[in-house]
């Protein structure tokens, strides 16, 4: 072992990877993991962290976050969202492009980048938008360094970002395929959802269950199917966001069996809540896609266990509390908290015997890093990887108390839930940003992530919009 003194040694913990767990210490230097091994083999260190009796995991990666910054910072901003991430054991977040202004061109991307660099406690990536109006900006956004693209197949920001029509969506997929990038879709059929909502409103329905009835599972299944067909035709890498519907799962399984590079996420709210919870909590739980009736949750759990669903994200999307408590469900904006509670909710499921720590690491860290071209720099406990680490105490118990959350919005559907398994320290590139539940890092530590994007593999090049229009000929 080198005689060099390193920055930090984490001693005495049990390291957890998707492949297994083992007792070891970790040396950290210059933001990276410098050594893994027996405690007595670790180099001298300027600081140490005792993890005796605890588990050491790679920090969680949340690929679906709405920081609301810029444009709606009364509900959340980069500092508060990233503080919630740090306190929840999340070390990297990807922010959606549906801010005001949207990340639909390079100057807006750079402006948001400046905000994130100044405020974020954790590392981050920024999505670019695939909208109905910015096809000509897709390539420049890719060159600027977006983590990927987001296509809202139903409108976002209360209609301020209309969904692209099918022709534009396919054209966007063709361009993104040629760049080797991955595109995330919010897959719900806009026409079905709009029609059903109008019918329910006309019938005088304002109760919480009217919302999931306005966005039936078939709306998700149809949109997923359409996205799969377009992606397969174009040769584009596809990611399906916040899957809540059992009906879409067979379509995804079939496309993957044919060889399509399609990844899939779900969220804690779809795994741990059902429409029955809407009766009690109402607008607090309104989100898109909706929390569905019992049975979909079991199908999603099975898909996780089978490897069809790759990862767990949150779709963290805060709103002001007073807006979430309106008498009519239609007046309650869609979006839930998630960053600070997602990992502990899954640790609680480990404690309950529903899953394992190894599976949780795969779902919340490693699979995301691989899908988004960050592995093994992120998502791994390996020498040379970024020292993004969360130490968890599986014997610690707590109760989720929304008044103590870092987010500006203090409402969560999991308020009062008893938890066994708690993050007790979070490190981002070797720096401790949370310890014993307290935020100790400073804003501005987070960095923009750098990907290693694989070679593009576009298909049907003779039939793309560019080819038939003679662009570039």
Q: What is the pLDDT of residues 355-396, one digit of tens each?
A: 999 999 999 999 999 999 999 999 999 999 999 999 999 999
Question: To the nearest whole number, what is the mean pLDDT of the chain?
Answer: 96
Helix spans in 61-137 (H): 78-87, 106-119
End-to-end CA distance of the chain: 59
Question: According to the model, what pLDDT value does residue 469 have?
Answer: 84
Question: According to the model, what pLDDT value does residue 40 have?
Answer: 95
**3-state class percentages of the chain: helix first, strand second, coil last, to nearest 5:** 35, 25, 40
The span from the CA of 285 to the CA of 162, in Å, is 24
Q: Where are the beta strands (DSSP E) in 107-261?
A: 123-129, 148-152, 182-186, 237-240
Ranges 230-244, 288-302, 456-470: which has the least confidence: 456-470
Residue found under tokens 């592995």: 375
The span from the CA of 392 to the CA of 174, in Å, is 43
Mean pLDDT of 308-312: 98
pTM, to two decimals = 0.97
Does pLDDT of 311 surpass 90?
A: yes
The span from the CA of 144 to the CA of 138, in Å, is 10
Residue found under tokens 């940003």: 433
Nearest Cα to 349, choosing from 272, 423, 265, 295? 272
Q: What is the pLDDT of residues 12-55, one digit of tens each?
A: 999 999 999 999 999 999 999 999 999 999 999 999 999 999 99
The span from the CA of 51 to the CA of 192, in Å, is 52
CA 266, distance to chain mean position in Å, is 9
The span from the CA of 390 to the CA of 66, in Å, is 22
Q: What is the pLDDT of residues 146-199, one digit of tens each?
A: 999 999 999 765 557 889 999 999 999 999 999 999 999 999 999 999 999 999
* DSSP code string of 266-295: E-HHHHH--HHHHHHHGGGG--SSPP--TT
Question: According to the model, what pLDDT value does residue 404 have?
Answer: 96
* Cβ partners under 8 Å of residue 182, min gap 6: 148, 149, 176, 236, 237, 238, 239, 261, 263, 371, 372, 373
Q: Are the CB atoms for 220 and 244 separated by under 8 Å?
A: yes
Q: What is the pLDDT of residues 326-340, one digit of tens each?
A: 999 999 999 999 999
Exposed/middle/buried for residue 21 (C-beta within 10 Å: 0-12, 13-18, 19+): middle
């Amino acid at each position: 072992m080198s005689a060099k003194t390193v920055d930090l040694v984490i001693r005495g913990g049990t390291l957890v990877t998707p492949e297994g767990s083992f007792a070891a210490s970790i040396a950290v230097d210059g933001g990276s993991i410098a050594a893994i091994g027996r405690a007595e083999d670790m180099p001298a260190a300027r600081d140490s962290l005792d993890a005796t009796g605890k588990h050491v995991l790679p920090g969680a990666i949340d690929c679906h976050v709405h920081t609301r910054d810029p444009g709606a910072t009364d509900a959340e901003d980069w500092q508060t969202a990233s503080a919630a991430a740090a306190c929840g054991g999340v070390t990297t977040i990807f922010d959606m492009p549906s801010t005001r202004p949207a990340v639909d061109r390079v100057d807006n991307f750079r402006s948001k980048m400046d905000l994130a660099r100044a405020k974020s406690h954790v590392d981050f990536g920024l999505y670019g938008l695939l909208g109905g109006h910015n096809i000509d900006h897709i390539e420049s956004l890719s060159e600027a360094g977006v983590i990927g693209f987001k296509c809202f197949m139903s409108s976002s920001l209360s209609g301020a970002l209309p969904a692209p029509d099918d022709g534009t969506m396919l054209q966007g997929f063709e361009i993104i395929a040629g760049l080797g990038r991955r595109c995330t879709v919010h897959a719900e059929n806009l026409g079905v959802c709009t029609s059903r909502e109008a019918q329910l409103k006309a019938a005088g329905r304002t109760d919480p269950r009217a919302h999931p009835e306005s966005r039936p599972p078939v709306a998700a299944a149809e949109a997923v199917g359409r996205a799969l067909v377009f992606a397969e035709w174009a040769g584009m890498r596809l990611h399906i966001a916040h899957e809540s519907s059992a009906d879409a799962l067979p379509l995804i399984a079939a496309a993957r069996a044919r060889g399509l590079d399609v990844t899939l996420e779900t969220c804690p709210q779809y795994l741990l809540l059902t429409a029955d919870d809407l009766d009690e909590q109402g607008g607090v739980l309104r989100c898109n896609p909706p929390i569905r009736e019992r049975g979909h949750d079991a199908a999603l759990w099975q898909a996780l266990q089978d490897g069809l669903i790759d990862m767990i994200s949150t779709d963290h999307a805060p709103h002001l509390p007073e807006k979430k408590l309106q008498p009519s469900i239609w007046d309650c904006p869609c979006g839930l908290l998630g960053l600070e509670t997602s990992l502990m909710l899954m640790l609680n499921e480990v404690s309950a015997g529903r899953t394992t720590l190894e599976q949780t690491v795969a779902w919340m860290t490693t699979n995301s890093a691989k899908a988004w071209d960050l592995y093994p720099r992120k998502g791994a406990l390996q020498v040379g990887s970024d020292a993004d680490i969360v130490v968890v105490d599986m014997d610690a118990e707590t109760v989720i108390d929304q008044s103590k959350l870092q987010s500006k919005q203090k409402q969560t559907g999991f308020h009062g839930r008893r938890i066994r398994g708690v993050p007790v320290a979070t490190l981002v590139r070797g720096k401790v940003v949370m310890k014993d539940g307290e935020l100790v890092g400073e804003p501005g530590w987070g960095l923009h992530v750098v990907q290693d994007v694989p070679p593009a593999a576009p298909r049907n090049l003779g039939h793309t919009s560019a080819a038939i229009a003679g662009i570039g000929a």
